[in-house]
Amino acid sequence: MSPQVADRTEVRLAGEGGQGMILAGIILAEAAAIYDGKNAVQTQSYGPEARGGASKAEVVISSGEIDHPEVLHADVLLALSQEAFKKFAGELKPGGLLVVDEDKVDATDAPSAVRIPVTRLAVETTGKQITANTVALGVLVGLTGVVAREAIEKAVSARAPRGTEEMNRQALEAGFAAAARVKTNR
């Protein structure tokens, strides 16, 4: 399943403050622009609450020029909170890819949603919930191929705080493995 249309892929990563979706968006844009030779634009917004409020990162990726830097109708939505799902699922392109954290999002009204226990995988893999954003990046890249696997690996490694590189590599690998399981079961 490739969500690319007209060489422009619009990705929205959404959750609540503290889940790392803004950082995930920055890392995805860096993977595209620095390590994969593509053009990328990244924007972000979050509610007035630092933690717990809605937050989103948007990334537009293209091998050509990006004439409009905003996500209008996302090709891909990754939602890690119920509020993010409710707020943004309606803005997904018809046939777009919707990925939700199955433990945090009730997406019963979205039968085509890909349900993956992103946060649970983070805790099981690294012992830290904070690595859910890295698991999510592995899932996203594993399902879409929007950037090369090597590019996202390099971008995550470059952004990982010193001493956490291996933990983040494991989290990313857990996301890739979850994406591979989804692809196998389709």
121 vs 186: which has the higher pLDDT: 121
Pair 93, 31: CB distance under 8 Å:
no
Q: Centre a 10 Å sphere on the Cβ of residue 93 and count the other Cβ atoms it contains.
A: 15
DSSP 147-174: S-HHHHHHHHHHHSPTT-HHHHHHHHHH
**Structural contact between residues 85 and 108, judged by C-beta atoms closer than 8 angstroms:** no
Which residues in 82-123 belong to E strands, given as ranges? 92-101, 114-116
Q: Where are the domains of the chain?
A: 8-184
What value does the mean pLDDT of the chain take?
Answer: 92
Given a cut of 90, whether residue 49 has pLDDT beyond it is no
The number of angstroms, rounded, from the C-alpha of 138 to the middle of its chain's C-alpha atoms is 8
Mean pLDDT of 45-71: 83
What integer pLDDT is reported at residue 72 of this predicted model?
Answer: 87
Report which secondary-structure segment, H or E, holds 41.
strand 39-46
Does the CA dihedral 4-135-55-30 come out positive or negative? negative
Q: What pLDDT score does 18 carry?
A: 84
Task: Tell me which of 1.10.3720.10, 3.90.180.10, 3.40.920.10, 3.40.50.1100 is the CATH number of domain 8-184.
Answer: 3.40.920.10
More confident residue, 169 or 55: 169
Q: What is the pLDDT of residue 7?
A: 86
Q: Which residues contact 71 (CB under 8 A, 6 or more apart)?
A: 10, 11, 12, 43, 58, 59, 60
What percent of the chain has a predicted confidence (pLDDT) above 70? Answer: 93
Residue 4 — very low, low, confident or very high, per pLDDT cuts 50/70/90? very low
Segment 82-141, tens digit of pLDDT? 999 999 999 999 999 999 999 999 999 999 999 999 999 999 999 999 999 999 999 999
What pLDDT shows up at residue 71?
Answer: 92
pTM score of the predicted model: 0.92
Q: Higher-confidence residue: 128 or 52?
A: 128
Under the banding of pLDDT at 50, 70 and 90, the label for residue 51 is: low
pLDDT by residue (tens digit) across 21-33?
Answer: 999 999 999 999 9
Please give the Cα distance from 68 to 160 (Å, whole number): 30
Which residue has tokens 């590599």? Answer: 169
pLDDT at position 90 is 92
Do 43 and 9 form a contact (C-beta atoms < 8 A)? no
Cα–Cα distance between 96 and 112 in angstroms, integer?
A: 9
Secondary structure of residue 54 in the 3-state scheme: strand
Q: How far apart are CA 168 and CA 115, in angstroms?
A: 22
pLDDT above 80 (res 46): no
Contact between residue 79 and residue 98 where contact means Cβ atoms under 8 Å apart? yes
